[in-house]
Amino acid sequence: MKLDFFDIEATDDIAKPETVGSITKDSSALEVFTDFNVYMPLMLEEGSCAVEAEKQMQKAHVRLKLVVDKDENFVGVVSLDNLNNQEVIKRLSKGYSREELSIDEFMIPKEQLKAFDYDQIACATITNVIEALKENGQQHCLVLDRNRA
């Protein structure tokens, strides 16, 4: 089969997935869940420059990334809030240079994280998740499928 190219004219719309129906606070939590079996997680390698990571995250409109080691083993998470300018300024005032600040200093190690079980999330509403996040002072949550072999 021969494929033909065609000229792109005044097209400036970008295709985006459509939301089927509207999402409400009573919708299934799975409606706002990013399944890493389907979508590649957004990751940074430990030791990455914190200032560069912040720039990348702002440019991509991403608020949270997983932090992995060189073998892509999960070691923690870093949020845009963790990398905010005030935290960077605190480190700079202690004598660090911008280039030597690594995400390791700002990330939350996996040992300090909590997660929901997938089976619970599958039965929960968005309201249930929001309430649990508020009660625990969290903005994001991880979900583990503990039944997966």
Checking if the pLDDT of 149 tops 60, the result is no
Euclidean distance between CA atoms 96 and 94, whole angstroms: 6
Buried b (16+ CB within 10 A) or exposed e, 96-112: eeeeebbbeebbeeeee
Question: What digits encode the pLDDT tens for the residues 29-40?
Answer: 999 888 998 999
91, pLDDT greater than 90: no
Name the 3-class secondary structure at 64.
strand
- The helix (H) or strand (E) run that includes residue 89 is helix 85-93
Residue with the bigger pLDDT between 19 and 91: it is: 91
| Pair 102, 50: CB distance under 8 Å | yes
Instruction: Identify the structural domains of the chain with CATH numbers, from first to last.
Output: 29-144 (3.10.580.10)
* pLDDT tens per residue across span 68-82: 999 999 999 999 988
Which one has a higher pLDDT value, 94 or 85? 94
Cα(89)–Cα(98) distance, integer angstroms: 9
What is this structure's pTM? 0.78
Cα–Cα distance for residue pair 55/60, rounded to 1 Å: 9
Strand, coil or helix: 140: coil
CA angle at 78 for the pair 35 and 87, rounded to the nearest 5°: 155
